[in-house]
Structure formats: structure tokens, C-alpha cells
Amino acid sequence: MNQDPFPQTDPDEAALAWLSRLRGNPAPGDQAVFEQWLAASPAHRVAWRRAESLWSTMGEPGARVAEEEASILAGYLENMDRARRRKAVRRTGTALGLALAVLSGAIWLEQPHLLQNLAADYVSARGERRLVTLSDASTVLLDADTAMDVAFSPGERRVRLLRGTAYFSVTKSGDPFIVEAADGQVRVLGTEFDVRLADQRAVVTLARGRVEVGNGTRTATIAPGQQVSYAADTLGTVVEADLDAALAWRDGRFVFYEARLADVVAEIARYRSGRIVITSSELANWTVSGSLPLDDPDAALRSLQSSVGFSMRSIAGRLVILH
């Protein structure tokens, strides 16, 4: 009978590796060895329940890693498995598989937006705020993990925000300046405003001047100190905004009021290497308020943990699981 391939492995890591093996291509006898491992310790059963919870909720709204990334996660977990048994596998034909597993795991953890980054004109890395000066002397401050396309042409200045948050300081010109984001657009001549993309919607906050926000046939004009959000088929009501809170990210803080925990964690994740996964939709939808230091994401997570009370597990310092 096969021997336990993870005899000295941390229970949580072993459970994730077993999950990957059993849902992939298990070898003859693996199920029996797994049952022995499961029965060997109560800690193994607890770790297995956590691993199953992580896997089963990966596609749930507000708490998921996108379904198309599940196979990459499996590759990452399978790589953990292979790394621990690499001496037992045949060398021929395994090097390429291992390399692909390492690559897919690295992409899932560190470069989930790799293709989008390659297509963008300007990208800010995780943890980086980047100031960009455009050809018309307008400036754009990109928040961490933000991507933007620029397409200037005679008579029109057009920018597309692909993800993240950007603060625009637009020079006055006879040519309109248009920011496309989330199936809508912001149209100005010269002003300062903030556009944030989150969960398939955009939030526009105006600091100075005047902007027109359009979404299909719907439009809204906002004045300084006002804010409006929209999605593909909805345009929200114009509301008064707390500019200090809305624009606090420029100084390295995230201020939020009655926000979903999943949205707050997503903001923290833009300043941290690796990935953060919430295993429960109930936890993901928990409502929280506060202010967190973005430039120290691990401190922000600990602060959030102390106020909400969730459990937090870190694997190799890169994959953080909240449950």
C-alpha cells in the first residue's frame, strides 16, 4: 500500500495537497492512504474541513476566487504536492509538468492580471502609487494594482481605466477628456476627480470643476464634493461625498463606512503580494467601518481581524485564508 506522502507536513498544507491529489488524478491506493491520514489525528479532520470549505466556496459571490482561476489554484496546490514527492517521481516527462505547475501557481499568486497588464499603457504594481503625466500635461495618480489605456486623437482625449483607482488632474483644453470605466464614461474639459472600479461598478468623486457621468442613455452631472456610482445597467443617485475619506488612498489610508468585508479585503490585497481568499460568503458580506493603513497591508489585516473576529491562516506568506 502507498505510504503517506506528507508525513511531516503542516496539517493545513497537507489537507490542501490531499484535496488537489484526490480531485485530480489520484494513484491507486491514494484513497486508502488518505483515510489513514484523516483518522490519524483530530487536527487532520479539522484541516480537511477547512480545505473543503475553501474549495467549495471558491465560486460564491463576494467570497470567491473567480471560477476560471480554480484550475490555477489546483496547479499551485499540486505543485506543493509534487515538491514534497519529487524524489519519488520519474525524471522523464516530469520536469515540464513541474515547471508548468510552478508557473501557474506563480501567476495565480503574484500576477493574476498578467494579460491585462501586457495590454495596458500604464500599470502600477501592488503596493505602488504611480504618477503618470500624459501628453497634454494632464496627470493621473494610479492607486496600487491599477491599469490604464490611453488613446489620444485629434479633437478628443480618451482614457480607459481597466482596473483599480485613479485620480485625474486634467488640463483645460478645447478637446474633451473622456475616461471610460465599467461600461460608462466621465466627460470633462478641465478638472480634478477620482474614479474607482470595484465589483463591476465605478464610483466617481469630484474634487474640483464639473463632470458629466454617462451610462448608456443615462447621464448625471456632479459638482465638487459630490459622488455618483454606476454599473453596466444602472446609474446611482448623486450624493454628497466625504472628500477626505474618499481620497485618503492618496496618503496611504483606506477609509470605509458600512462596507462589505470582501471589498475591504480586496482593497488591502492591492497592496500585498500573494492572494487573500475568504472561505465563507457570510463572512465576505459582513459589514464593517473603519480606517486602515494601506502601506502596511499585514497590519491592516490584523487590525481588521481584531475588529471582526475572523480566523486567519497564512500559507508560505503568500496565500492568506480568512474563515
pLDDT reported for residue 156: 94
How many CB atoms neighbour CB 128 within 10 A?
14
Q: How many helices (H) and strands (E) does the chain have?
A: 10, 19
User: C-alpha cell of 258?
Assistant: 458600512
Q: What is the pLDDT of residue 20?
A: 66
Q: How far, in Å, are 2, 3, 26, 201 from residue 31 at the CA level?
A: 10, 11, 8, 45
Tell me the longest C-alpha to C-alpha distance in the chain: 78
What residue spans in the chain does CATH classification 2.60.120.1440 cover?
119-242
β-pairing verdict for 130-133 and 139-142:
antiparallel
Is the pTM for the entire model greater than 0.85? no
Q: What is the mean pLDDT of each run of 10 residues along the chain (323 residues)?
A: 60 74 72 88 83 53 40 50 50 45 48 75 94 97 96 94 96 93 91 92 95 90 95 92 94 92 93 89 92 92 91 84 90
Query: Which H/E stretch holds residue 96?
Result: helix 94-110
* pLDDT reported for residue 119: 80
Give the C-alpha separation, 294 to 124, whole Å: 15
**DSSP E strands: which ranges in 209-305?**
211-215, 218-222, 226-230, 239-240, 253-260, 275-278, 287-293
Contacts 24+ apart (CB under 8 A), 244-251: 246/194, 246/205, 247/167, 247/194, 247/205, 247/207, 248/291, 249/129, 249/143, 249/165, 249/294, 250/129, 250/141, 250/167
CATH code, residues 119-242? 2.60.120.1440
* pLDDT on residue 168: 98
* CATH 3.55.50.30 intervals, the chain: 252-322
According to the model, what pLDDT value does residue 237 have? Answer: 95
Which CATH architecture is the domain 252-322 placed in? 3-Layer(bab) Sandwich (3.55)
